[in-house]
């Protein structure tokens, strides 16, 4: 009971909720706004996470360079998946995303030299390399906590995660009210009608899949 009552526990719960909120925002863009049924969103989250871990722990890159690279990699994976598969309709595209997520899971758990295999990112580098990443992250948390006048690292992380989630939510809300967003809703309702009005449906779908995948990379 003491663990459940602690502030650190609830801060952790809030952080996890914020991370999954960011992941869900990508799905909202893809399915809620455009009608793309993507069951593989978590695969793009994994691609972003593993890219970040490989670049920082294994290659020694600064996390400030690795983070945008991880997001870009997740978005690029969305594009690569979408180019051959987005001409498929509804259920068939959903099946492709399930298969893609299984491929990512299989590679992540079996490619020992690249991802650490079943041991995960803990096996990517030495203890020294991992501690250097932890030191970078803890310094950032300490600075952010100082700017926000928050003494707890857990609460600082909670505030940062939800700040990112709220920024992305605001951007999505604004985008949905632009001509671009109206085209996405038209595609959701009837993509043939949207195409008959001269809209490049495939290009819009690719944009949405890439942006939603980037959201997963952020998460």
Q: 175-219, pLDDT tens digit by residue?
A: 989 999 999 999 888 888 888 888 888 899 999 999 999 999 998
pLDDT in tens, 9-18: 878 888 899 9
What's phi and psi for 98, nearest 5 deg?
-65, -45
CA pair distance 194, 189, nearest whole angstrom: 9
Answer with the residue of higher pLDDT: 115 or 46: 46
The predicted model gives 115-137 an average pLDDT of 66
Q: What's the pLDDT at 151?
A: 66
Query: Cβ(199)–Cβ(183) under 8 Å?
Result: yes
Q: Helix H segments across the chain?
A: 2-5, 7-27, 41-53, 63-85, 90-110, 112-115, 127-148, 153-175, 179-189, 191-196, 201-218
Whether the per-residue pLDDT at 135 is higher than 60: the answer is yes
Whether the per-residue pLDDT at 64 is higher than 80: the answer is yes
Q: What's the pLDDT at 127?
A: 57
Q: What's the pLDDT at 120?
A: 66
Cα-based distances in Å from 24 to 32, 169, 177: 10, 10, 19
Q: Average pLDDT over the chain, rounded to whole?
A: 84
DSSP state of 120: G
The predicted model gives 124-132 an average pLDDT of 63
Q: What's the pLDDT at 121?
A: 65
């Amino acid at each position: 009971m003491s663990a459940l009552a602690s502030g650190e526990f609830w801060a952790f719960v809030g952080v996890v909720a914020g991370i999954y909120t960011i992941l869900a925002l990508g799905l909202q863009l893809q399915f809620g706004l455009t009608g793309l049924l993507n069951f593989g969103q978590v695969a793009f989250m994994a691609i972003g996470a593993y890219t970040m871990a490989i670049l920082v722990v294994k290659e020694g890159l600064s996390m400030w360079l690795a983070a945008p690279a991880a997001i870009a990699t997740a978005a690029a994976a969305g594009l690569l998946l979408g180019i051959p598969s987005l001409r498929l309709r509804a259920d068939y595209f959903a099946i492709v995303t399930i298969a893609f997520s299984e491929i990512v899971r299989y590679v992540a758990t079996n490619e020992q030299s690249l991802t650490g295999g079943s041991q995960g990112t803990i096996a990517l580098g030495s203890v020294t390399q991992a501690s250097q990443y932890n030191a970078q992250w803890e310094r950032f948390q300490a600075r952010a906590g100082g700017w926000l006048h928050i003494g707890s690292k857990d609460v600082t992380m909670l505030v940062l995660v939800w700040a990112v989630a709220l920024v992305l939510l605001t951007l999505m809300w604004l985008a949905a009210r632009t001509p671009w967003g109206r085209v996405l809703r038209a595609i959701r309702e009837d993509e043939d009608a949207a195409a008959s009005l001269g809209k490049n449906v495939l290009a819009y779908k690719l944009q949405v899949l890439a942006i939603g995948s980037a959201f997963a990379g952020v998460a």
